[in-house]
Structure 1
């Protein structure tokens, strides 16, 4: 998965576009897949927004897999057939607009970790293991540089790389959506309670290093023990202490 910092900044939709998209989305829920909702102009008028704003709303709806557009006579907007993956993605997209739900996203992400560890134990190749080692090295370098922000991003890249090993496309998609959500709302890294931040990230580095060691040995019991410790050790949002936007 490409890290958020490697992508172009996301364009934030306007509130009017979001509301227009929500109104059309409600219409799709009340009709069978493939139903005609109306022309673009009909729906734009219904939503009471400008052409530009409705086009923005339409892009949101298409990105979420909720509508299709058909040209020509009898064309217009139609409710789309959604796969289970698209429906799960839409749940995450809804969270993306509410930063207060980031902690819930972390909790769900943590619940998926043992499934991804199981898949990594079975499916990790030597190349995959080498890739995980590179992320561990990046975390170690961030600890040495006393750079908690770099540590957090290297940490997330490690988890994304573990997720990428899974052959389960649905699991990979949901997990990486959640990881993107947490990362996109994280502003800075703060100390966790009274423990010095440098000491905290050093401990987290050791835990992740031991986890990768266990994966390489195919030591299922140890890997699952470590991921349980990872997710139950006191940690604020984002794995390491982080401040999310409000």
Structure 2
């Protein structure tokens, strides 16, 4: 029988029984070496294995299902299976944590300036022709300057997708996830703070050229140039995003 007990800790709040059972099920899945798509034991076996009531087991499974760690299928061949949390779902869950926290442009770019130049340098000379072509095709999506605020917002989101996609090619999956998450919340900020009240041709032109130069440096394997270009790109974007935010706030205060 899997253990569901835990070492007492007066400083830590005691977790509910379904939460403790859900943690025990996760531990058991890891111990058994189960992979996404593998079938989990039925409810009767779960009750016997973990020594808990039907209601507790069902609540624990619902918790795991809400987390994306368990998938339930009905019909012939149905049952409960090990789930795999997608990057999109993980980003959304993490975004919920920051929902009521005042994340600023500076908070995001402080991390971007620290991480993205090193990722670009590390991947210089290591991207396949197919991946380079994919990144160039993303840049082609904003080959012309925006004609209105909505078009500029769309182009900015596409540009952030370029950075997220580039980071996803990194060997370090954690770095790729973090950079992708920062791109996502930055895209969200542009929407609810309305940071694109007017097209910014300078940001488009300079940013796009940075990205083209970056891919050229990475294609020829020039890590030093890739790092320098990405850093300049991040610093320029940081400055111009904060300037744009100041313009929007000034307009808002005027009303």
Q: Classify the TM-score, shorter chain.
A: 0.5 to 0.7
Q: Against the structure 1 CA distance between its residues 157 and 177, is the aligned structure 2 distance closer, same or farther, given a 3 Å change threshold?
A: same
Tell me whether 1:128 sits opposite 2:108 in the alignment: no
Structure number with greater CO (CA < 8 Å, separation at least 6) is: 1
Tell me whether 1:149 sits opposite 2:149 in the alignment: no
Q: Which residue of 2 aligns with 1:164?
A: 168
Q: Say if 1:116 and 1:166, in contact at 8 Å, map to a contact too.
A: yes
Tell me whether 1:173 sits opposite 2:152 in the alignment: no
1:239 and 1:212 map into 2 onto residues whose CA distance is 26
TM-score relative to the length of structure 2: 0.55
From the CA coordinates, give the structure whose radius of gyration is larger: 2
Q: Say if 2:139 and 2:208, in contact at 8 Å, map to a contact too.
A: yes
Of 4, 14, 17, 1:38 maps to 17
Structure 1, unmatched stretches of 5+, are: 1-26, 41-69, 81-87
Aligned length: 175
Structure 2, unmatched stretches of 5+, are: 1-8, 20-45, 65-89, 250-255
The root-mean-square deviation of aligned C-alpha atoms, in Å, is 3.9
Tell me whether 1:108 sits opposite 2:117 in the alignment: no
1:54-81 deviations in whole A, cap 9, x for unaligned? xxxxxxxxxxxxxxxx86429467899x
TM-score relative to the length of structure 1: 0.57
Residue 94 of structure 1: CA displacement? 2.4
Q: Which residue of 2 aligns with 1:73?
A: 53
Residue 210 of structure 1: CA displacement? 0.9
Q: Which has the higher strand share?
A: 1
State how 1:1-246 maps to structure 2 within 5 Å: 30=12, 37-38=16-17, 72-73=52-53, 75=56, 93-141=96-144, 143=145, 145=147, 147-187=151-191, 188-190=194-196, 197-233=200-236, 235-236=238-239, 241=244
Q: Which residue of 1 aligns with 2:81?
A: none
